[in-house]
Amino acid sequence: MKLSELRKGDHAVILKIETDESLKGRLISFGIARGTELSIEECSIGKKTMEILVDDTLIGLRAEEAAKIEVEKLEIIEIDNETEKL
Q: How far apart (Å, rounded) are the C-alpha atoms in residues 32 and 54?
A: 7
Walk along the chain (86 residues) and give the pLDDT tens digit of each residue.
999 999 999 999 999 999 999 999 999 999 999 999 999 999 998 889 999 999 999 999 999 999 999 999 998 776 666 666 65
What pLDDT shows up at residue 77?
74
Dihedral of the alpha carbons of 54, 57, 63, 68, in degrees to the nearest 10:
-40
What pLDDT shows up at residue 76?
77
CATH of 3-85, one of 1.10.3720.10, 1.20.1250.20, 2.30.30.90, 2.40.160.10: 2.30.30.90
What pLDDT shows up at residue 82?
65
pTM: 0.84
Q: Where are the domains of the chain?
A: 3-85
